[in-house]
Homo-oligomer: A and B are copies of this chain.
Amino acid sequence: MTKDVRKLKTERDIQRAMLQLLTTKNFRQMTVADICQASLTSRSTFYAHYLDKYDLLDQLVAKYQLIFTQKVHLRFEQMIAGEIDALVKGLLADMADNREAIRILFTVHEPAADLEAGFHDQLLAEWQRFIQEKSPTMTAPAELIAAMGTNVQMTVIEWALTHGDTSIDVVADAVNTIRGAVLRQIN
């Protein structure tokens, strides 16, 4: 039923290798042979696990998209109601182990596999749902406010991914002000 340990290990090695390679060269110019060389796996084994490098990227993106999906839904309420410190620190804590991987994948923008876009869409859906519940009829266009809130959050997330969780305090005040302005459009 459960997967063979060897499969888990090779998939781990291959995924790590791809992430590591993405820091050097971009996805397009990366070959399957490169990935195999970096992960110490044979090409035949690679193709036993993935259709091609696009499939590998898909699965990587899907993996972190899933983690994000699970976390975001739980934290969304407090993300917009609470202080910005709690928001970012909570998210970073959830993703501590994966921060570097997510940061790398955010640089890849393939039509069928775009983690940054995926995060964005996910947040946007949450905002639309939130606005619909809180105030179905509001003066400002709901779509605009949802997009605004989403983009503010994405900005903070990306900032935190690259700068780490220690330097949040520097920007907390500024972001809190903006967040408050967005929320006032809804209430």
Contacts and interface: CB of A to CB of B under 8 A. Distances in A.
Contacts of A5: 40, 42
Contacts of A40: 5, 8-9
Copies in the complex: 2
A48 to B, nearest CB: 15
Main secondary structure of the interface of A (DSSP, over half): helix
A8 B42 CA distance: 14
Contacts of A42: 5
Nearest to A42: B5
Interface string A1-18: 000010011000100000
Interface in A38-70: 40, 42
A12 to B, nearest CB: 9
Interface of A: 5, 8-9, 13, 40, 42
By Cβ-Cβ distance, the 5 closest A-B pairs, closest first, are: A5-B40, A9-B40, A8-B40, A5-B42, A9-B13
5 contacts: A5-B40, A5-B42, A8-B40, A9-B13, A9-B40
